[in-house]
Amino acid sequence: MKTCPYCGSGVQNHQHRYYCGFCKMKLDRNEVQENGKRKNLLPQQHPTIEDAKKPTPELMKLSTVELLYLLKLARKERSDTYNNRYIFIQAMKQGAKEFSDAEQYTYKEYEYWTRKCFVIENILRERIGFIPKKINKEFIQNMIQRMQQPVKDMNIQPPKKEVERVK
């Protein structure tokens, strides 16, 4: 039976979409579950740095785990850009003025990645209530383990029929 991913109620098919009467909302086909199962929250594949370049409304549609991966990638990109910029600044202090354009380019890149980090951090903060200071393999694995813990299906037993009492 096709069911709502939020409440577990049966859904009705309406013109290539589904409708949950309890939640009073339309659902896309890919959102509908079977027999009260809960939604799988794990991504099918790891996001790439190209995914981090998506506009904010698209980033907001990604799962929390995907955003954690993206924040890790964006922070690394920002750090690498900062380090490159630092090298150019040091060279310019030594009199190598030809690195001026490169320094300005890396500044713009650094600003871009810093703002991307801000965006992803704030989306995560809205979802999990805090901004992770450090995202390492263990942090992500712990989050995935929590998400994979067995969860009870959303099934409610119907009332049992009353047995006729013999007088």
pTM to 2 decimals?
A: 0.76
Q: Count other Cβ atoms within 10 Å, centred on residue 49.
A: 13
Angle in degrees, 0-180, between the axes of helices 64-93 and 137-148, rounded to the nearest 10:
170
Would you state the pLDDT for residue 97? 84
3-state secondary structure of 166: coil
Rounded Cα–Cα distance for residues 138 and 159 (Å): 45
Tens digits of residue pLDDT in 48-82:
999 999 999 999 999 999 999 999 999 999 999 99
Please answer whether residues 82 and 76 qualify as being in contact, where contact means their C-beta atoms are separated by less than 8 angstroms: no
Cα atoms found within 13 Å of the Cα of residue 125, Cβ hemisphere only: 9
pLDDT tens profile 88-146: 999 888 988 888 899 999 999 999 999 999 999 999 999 999 999 999 989 988 988 88
